[in-house]
Structure 1
Amino acid sequence: MTRMRATVIGFSAVLLWSLLALFTVGSAPVPPLLLNTICFSIGGTLGLIWAWSTGGLRQLREVRWTTYLFGAFGLFGYHALYFSALRMAPAAEAGLIAYLWPLLIVLFSGLLPGEHLRIGHLIGACLGFAGAAVIIVGGGESGFQAQYLVGYALALLCALTWSGYSVLSRRLGDTPTSSVAIFCLAAALASGVLHLALEETTWPSNAIGWVSVLALGLGPVGLAFYVWDIGVKRGDIQILGTASYAAPLLSTLALVLAQIAAPSWGLAIAALLITGGAVIAARASLNR
């Protein structure tokens, strides 16, 4: 598989994540940890079926338990910290801090063997972050407040968790992508235990809710992790990091098309910033 093809496959995860908000809205009133449990169970089960059909189950037995622990912590830790941050701080500010992860991926990737961080990568990532800020913060005037410091700290840990997971995954290049199935099932188990301890069980109330939950498990909280694994291990991780800022843009566009959110000039400005940042980062990689 070529580096460019792996990068394109990895970017398909960003396209799937852009549907996360739309399907999450449709899945209401299912609580977050129960939603995690169901979706990770679907994604993990599909991964096992795929491994079985391709003869990859034997490979799973050869993966070290520390790798499984690392992967499960990455998937579960990111979502647990994200949901907790948004409960303990305003969603716009906490979400913006959490969306530092693409920029951190670009920065941390410079520490990987064979990778070189160029000024174009940094400029592109900063432009992408500015575009995400326009979307996430919008016209809010609340600003950052000291009373929400714990929530902000959790959001920062969330960004560090996903960026660290993504960059370190490259050091596990010999680990089969099918191992993500075990990561998902372990994350589902952890989410289920916490759900029973902390949440009241509430199932989808209609057909749209069940379809949304199924779609989440198949796409944004399922297939996305497998293609992302291919991208960060074999593709251009710096382009992927910068291009990941397309997720909040495309997510907002999906909500607009579904008439859940209203269009605005902020979307147009964000589109220019994010697209421009991705182009600059791509040119830096091509020049390399």
Structure 2
Amino acid sequence: MTVSVAAATLAVPDGRLYYELRGSGPLVALVGSPMHAAPFAPVAEALAADHTVLTTDPRGHFGSVLDDPEQDSTPELRAADLARLLRHVDAGPAVVLGSSGGAITSLALLQANPELVRLVVAHEPPLAELLDDRARQRGVRAQIRALFEAGDRIGAIRKFFDFADMRIPEPVFQEWFGGEPTPEELANDRYFYLHELEGTAGWTPDLAALRAVSDKLVIGIGETSAGLFCDRASRALAAELGLEPVLFPGGHGGFTEDAPKFADRLREVIG
């Protein structure tokens, strides 16, 4: 069953934020970076049967337009955006599921505004600075940026997937990226590689602040992500905080692989 969607924008000091609301009940926010609202739609629809579900485009992507398109995106800025949206919706405290870079956004929100959340589920945050090979990771990120700046978009994308330990079969890669990108897709890639990737994967959480609110935090890992970059980073964070990671169906994007199954697992974790 298709759930009705209420779409709107919220003005912020340096731009506007696009967001969508579905369903009714306790508030769940689904947050990505650079992933925007659209890929979350299937799991949002599954959750909307018994929750109010907030999805949003992160700053600088698709419908969330900045006054200065060259402004860098940081976890702190995205967390402030999310805090404004949660206050605007006024249906909290919220459960926040952050995926990948959005998991880092959710951690920054929990550090700054723990009163706005009932629970943060940080699903596979790419916290490279917590890993022993952080210096190598910095070098790879610099290579990714250099490739994109040189006009090699496909090379940058390949290097990014290599950085993330994600092996994409060549036919699938060509299906996803081999065609001519739309201007919107190209702008989305440009913003991520030049203004968002380093500030996100290079972010260091405030471990003391997170320990103080660890009762509001779940570290989620995909069942098929074992040994991959985000699995290692997630487990490093969990170890620092004395938490046991919680497994979710699928891999890094498990909510796109089987949305109903992922939604059911999230309901179990929320309790």
| TM-score, scaled to structure 1 | 0.25
More strand by share: 2
More helix by share: 1
Larger relative CO (CA 8 A, sep 6+): 1 or 2? 1
| TM-score, scaled to structure 2 | 0.26
